[in-house]
Amino acid sequence: MARILGGITTSHIPAVGNAIANKLFDDPYWKPFFDAYPPIHDWLARVKPDVVINIYNDHGLGFFLDKMPTFAIGAAHEYRNEDEGWGIPQLPPFPGDAAFSWHIIEGMVADEFDITSCQELAVDHGFTVPMQLFWPKLGQDPNFPRAIPISANTVQHPIPTLHRALEFGRSLRKAILSWPRDIRVVVLGTGGLSHQLDGQRAGFINTAFDKYCMEKIVSAPDELTRISRMELVEKAGAQGTEFLMWLMMRGALGEKVNLLTQNYHVPISNTGAGTMLLECAD
């Protein structure tokens, strides 16, 4: 049966994509951010996941404000990266696992989650930046996994509650573990942490709240579900709502996890950037 190896968190801001393209890994502004990733590269090279489930939020490429699904799961054989106007180089298509995707969708619908299934899906920086960060050689890496994108609505209110996000992850876990084939899976929770890109609070970062979330997501994720949606906006900023995708990832990992490495750095493009590697304890 399928086995979940662990989960990884990361920011996915488009400026990171430009920094990767320009090889700014040792630039003083970027080095404290990129220094977080070599230990994760080592872990991925050791555990060799067959499939990566990438939980991200679409920024207007695959969906837009007129049609924004709460939860969408890719069910394609590949996922295209298209130009979204940030000047980031376009990447080759990412290989999918359509059969496994449909199994997950079927399981989660049976668990009473309403899923938008996508047999075609263009993926933006929310998906591609984490893939570049964790697998720098992308398709040239012999251990490069097949990908399943899961897009969550963090943009068009009403967004999901943090409780619903955590329960989504738990349902996702059930669906993954019921897959009869022997595969290794890693789950990404992307976005955030605190940031606000516009309005009167543009540039807002709440380091204390970010570190509280990074602490509680390891050992007490249910405590975070007490934070209301409006409180999340107040404490993390308008775009800090992306934290709900971290909880979706966390729910998929089971009750106990081991924190292997973490990093927190500000300001990267006016964002509190948190990176964590959580290995399943079971």
Give catalytic residue positions. Answer: 125, 195
The set of long-range contacts for 196-200, using a CB threshold of 8 Å and a minimum separation of 24, is 196/237, 196/238, 196/239, 196/240, 196/270, 197/238, 197/239, 197/270, 198/238, 199/238
**Which residue in 13, 9, 44, 40 sits closest to 246, CA to CA?**
9
Residue 152 CB-density burial (10 A; 0-12 exposed, 13-18 middle, 19+ buried): buried
Q: How far apart are CA 138 and CA 92, in angstroms?
A: 9
Q: Is 123 exposed, middle or buried (0-12, 13-18, 19+ CB in 10 A)?
A: buried
CB contact at 8 A, 248 and 55: yes
Helices marked H in 225-267:
229-236, 243-251
